[in-house]
Amino acid sequence: MLCRVIKALQATPLIQSITLAGPDRALLRGVPQIDQQLEAGQLHWLANARSPSASAAIALAADQSRQPVLLTTADHALLGTEILDCFIRGGLQQDCDFIVGVARLDTVMTRFPGTRRTAIRLKDGPFCGCNLFLFATGRGRQLANFWVSVEQQRKRPWRVIAGALGWAALLRYACGTLTLEQALQQLSRRLGLKIGAVILPFAEAAVDVDTLSDLQLVEQTLAERANTCNA
């Protein structure tokens, strides 16, 4: 999966350099296509921390450039250049410090009926996370620490909403009247940053590999693509 993600990132002209936050360097020596690039300086590596959010914070702190930083995960097995281009261009067009990628649940279910995805049920949603984050400014990088609490409660969206937006927003969420734009505006006010979202039209953007059924879904999708290409 990691090799697939790296390949997608390297094929995207908008990305200039890639840093891996883990896994352990000894493990990567067993993957020649990655190890060779690390030795040649084509990829950069940092030791992973105790969690994805902590690893992200370390990687952002280590980056001394003032360029926007894209963050994604190693289990984003269906990530492709089309998804990346859509997200990065859409994010940079917004006057925001931090941008998150989401996909509508119905987009995902239409493409992958029967699959189970965690979704936040907003009035204009529901929306699924896509493991795509753009830290567009230095101020936006401050959200790396906030991500710790989101990461811990990502399977309990009401706790995230209550902690980040307040109980009034939680009530609106429970009543089904909170929209994505309202949630982002409230979150921006509370955190002192401008936060935006790119709604991606790709169901594949919302697929990561957390379970065996996710792995089977990805393998089936890739097999179908291969058959189509060979037809």
Q: Would you say 109 and 206 are in contact if contact means Cβ atoms under 8 Å apart?
A: no
> What's the whole-model pTM score?
0.88
Note the helical H segments in the chain.
2-10, 25-28, 32-39, 52-62, 81-92, 105-111, 143-152, 157-165, 167-175, 180-191, 212-230
DSSP string, 192-230: TS-EEEEEES-GGGG---SSHHHHHHHHHHHHHHHHHHH
Q: What is the distance in angstroms between the CA of the first residue and the CA of the last residue of the chain? A: 25
pLDDT of residue 15: 95
Q: How far is CA 142 from the centre of its chain?
A: 17
Q: How far is CA 169 from CA 154, 161, 180, 190, in A?
A: 17, 7, 11, 12
pLDDT of residue 148: 65
CA dihedral 167, 168, 172, 174 (to 10 degrees): 20
CATH class of 2-230: alpha beta
Strand 195-200 with 119-120, pairing: unpaired
By residue count, the chain amounts to 231
Map out the domains of the chain as residue ranges. Answer: 2-230
Give per-10-residue mean pLDDT for the chain (231 aa): 94 94 90 93 91 86 88 94 97 95 96 88 89 92 74 59 61 72 86 93 95 93 84 60
